[in-house]
Amino acid sequence: MSRAEPLPRRSGAGLRSALKAAAVDFYYGSIRLVPANVLWGVTLLALLAVAVGGGPLVPLVAAPLLAIPYAGVARLAALTVRGRDVVLSDLWRAYREFGLVALGLGAILTIGSVLLGSNVIIGASQAGFVGWAFATLAGAGLIALWVLSFPLWLLLVDPERSDRRRRDRLRLALLLVLAAPGRTALLALVLALLLAISTVAFAALLTISIAYANLVAARYLLPLADRLETWLAERAAGGARRS
């Protein structure tokens, strides 16, 4: 692997392969992935029911709770892609191991999304260049947060990195987006379209789509993260030898 090019340039072909491989993964692992997705869907429905009865601010406060079942789905996807034996009890272990950190990460992502989304609305409602520039910057931040969210979740729950500190896993997720912005953005766009279509077919969102999206992301992102981490280690070792 070249020191000047930590990641190979094959985003389109790699993503197509990831979509196909994820479909096979889902077919063979559906007996575990569907229940995990359904638990996330039940949590979503509970938040929507609270929104109807308690107003829009209540689900915004409670939205980070969605991160706990989401972390379970991401964990099963990562275990599947890593070739581990996956059983349904892995879901409960994921809740215990990652529940608190998932809740914190969910709160950060929720607050960031609300603040950036509000700034988009505020900027767009103001006439003139300054308002639209403000809205554009906030919109770019919102997109960046969406792009970053997939590597954040998957590297957090990656079984191959269970010996790493959590802040190191989150740092690697940020470096991955910086090293491969086009590829991570393309993945985020494809998954956004997939989830948007699933929202129309709401039953698919509640039962299938979150699990499949995480399988695609795991198939696509985990090998890239492995290559990047190897390149960073080799570069650090080379620097240490020269010094």
Q: What would the pLDDT profile of 65-89 be if each residue is shown by its tens digit?
A: 999 999 999 999 999 999 999 998 9
Q: What would the pLDDT profile of 78-126 be if each residue is shown by its tens digit?
A: 999 999 999 989 999 999 999 999 999 999 999 999 899 888 888 888 8
Convert the chain into a string of H (helix), E (strand) and C (coil).
CCCCCCCCCCHHHHHHHHHHHHHHHHHHHHHHHHHHHHHHHHHHHHHHHHHHHHCCHHHHHHHHHHHHHHHHHHHHHHHHHCCCCCCCHHHHHHHHHHHHHHHHHHHHHHHHHHHHHHHHHHHHHCCCHHHHHHHHHHHHHHHHHHHHHHHHHHHHHCHHHCCCCHHHHHHHHHHHHHHCHHHHHHHHHHHHHHHHHHHHCHHHHHHHHHHHHHHHHHHHHHHHHHHHHHHHHHHHHHHHHHC
Give the chain's largest Cα–Cα span: 65
Q: What would the pLDDT profile of 224-242 be if each residue is shown by its tens digit?
A: 999 999 998 888 777 666 6
